[in-house]
Amino acid sequence: MLVLLEPDFAALSREAARIVASAVKSNPSLNLGLATGSTTLGMYAEIIRIYREESLDFSDVTTFNLDEYLGIAPDHPQSFHFFMRENFFRHINVHPSRTHIPDGMIAGNYEEYCSSYEQEIRSAGGIDLQILGIGRNGHIGFNEPASSLASRTRLKVLTSETIEDNRKFFIPGEKIPECAITMGIGTILDARRILILASGDMKADAVCNHQRTKALAQLLDRKKSHGRHRLLCSRFSAALCSREHQKIVRTRSQRNNIGLDLRRAGRRRPVED
CA pair distance 47, 25, nearest whole angstrom: 12
CA pair distance 54, 51, nearest whole angstrom: 6
Question: 185 with 222: CB under 8 angstroms?
Answer: no
- The minimum distance between CB 47 and ligand F6R, in angstroms, equals 16
The residue ranges of DSSP E strands in 15-86, in sequence order, are 31-34, 62-65, 67-69
140 counts as binding ligand F6R under rule CB under 6 A: yes
24 counts as binding ligand F6R under rule CB under 6 A: no
184 counts as binding ligand F6R under rule CB under 6 A: no
133 counts as binding ligand F6R under rule CB under 6 A: yes
**H-run or E-run covering 193:** strand 193-198
Choose among 149, 132, 144: nearest CA to 189.
149
159 counts as binding ligand F6R under rule CB under 6 A: no
CA pair distance 185, 187, nearest whole angstrom: 5
Near ligand F6R by CB under 6 A: residue from 42, 102, 104, 141: 141
Strands 67-69 and 31-34: unpaired
| Nearer to ligand F6R among residue 140 and residue 239 (C-beta) | 140
| Nearer to ligand F6R among residue 137 and residue 246 (C-beta) | 137
* Contact code string over 45-74 relative to ligand F6R, x by CB under 6 A: ---------------------xx-------
Q: Is the dihedral of CA 237, 132, 46, 90 positive or negative?
A: negative
104 counts as binding ligand F6R under rule CB under 6 A: no
36 counts as binding ligand F6R under rule CB under 6 A: yes
Using the contact rule CB under 6 A, the part of the chain among 98-106, 131-139, 248-256, 259-267 near ligand F6R is: 131-139
Which residue has the closest beta carbon to ligand F6R?
A: 133
| Nearer to ligand F6R among residue 54 and residue 161 (C-beta) | 161
Choose among 182, 197, 162: nearest CA to 40.
197
| Nearer to ligand F6R among residue 135 and residue 177 (C-beta) | 135
- The minimum distance between CB 28 and ligand F6R, in angstroms, equals 25
Q: Specify the DSSP class assigned to residue 69.
A: E
Residues annotated as catalytic are 67, 137, 139, 144
Strands 154-157 and 179-182: antiparallel
Map residue 207 onto helix, strand or coil.
Answer: helix
Residues that bind ligand F6R (CB under 6 A): 35-39, 66-67, 133-135, 139-141
